[in-house]
């Protein structure tokens, strides 16, 4: 797993960057066998020139046909990251559970509905 940072108009410390990387690397348990690049976008949405203090954090990852993308805006960068990370982890866990469920022969709710209307066997 690889983490790529894209930073625009924000200064982050080495401690903040390492904390973000550390949290993201904990997601490895959901991604066992796939090579993955997680993009972290850190931006200043409304700079001091515009009279605002909003910071945005975007997390994105692509798993073949699936893409997970989360964006959060807050006046504090690390708080925005915490909110975005929670959502990202939840989405990744749902993706993982769906994939594991299919590989073990369990049908999800959508599979059952598609089977009833004849779109899946």
CB 121 within 8 A of CB 115: yes
Q: State what percent of residues in the chain have pLDDT above 70.
A: 82
Q: Which domains does the chain have, with CATH numbers?
A: 2-86 (3.30.160.100)
Strands 55-63 and 37-44, bridge-based pairing: antiparallel
Query: What's the rounded Cα separation, in Å, for the pair 40 and 73?
Result: 14
C-alpha 40, offset from chain centre? 9
CB 53 within 8 A of CB 75: yes
Residues 39-65: tens digit of each pLDDT: 999 998 876 666 667 899 999 998 777
36: nearest Cα among 27, 45, 44: 27
pLDDT in tens, 13-42: 999 999 999 999 888 888 776 778 899 999
Q: Dig out the tokens for 79 from the structure.
A: 């708080």
Q: Which residues contact 6 (CB under 8 A, 6 or more apart)?
A: 39, 40, 41, 42
């Amino acid at each position: 797993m690889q983490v790529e940072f894209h930073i625009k108009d924000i200064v982050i410390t080495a401690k903040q960057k390492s904390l973000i990387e550390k949290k993201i690397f904990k997601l490895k348990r959901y991604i066992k066998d796939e090579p993955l690049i997680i993009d972290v976008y850190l931006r200043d949405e409304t700079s001091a020139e515009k009279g605002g203090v909003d910071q945005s954090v975007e997390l994105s990852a692509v798993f073949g046909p699936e893409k997970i993308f989360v964006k959060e805006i807050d006046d504090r960068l690390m708080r925005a990251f915490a909110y975005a990370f929670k959502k990202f982890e939840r989405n990744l866990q749902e993706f993982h559970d769906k994939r594991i469920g299919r590989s073990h022969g369990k049908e999800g709710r959508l599979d059952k509905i598609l089977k009833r209307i004849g779109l899946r066997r």
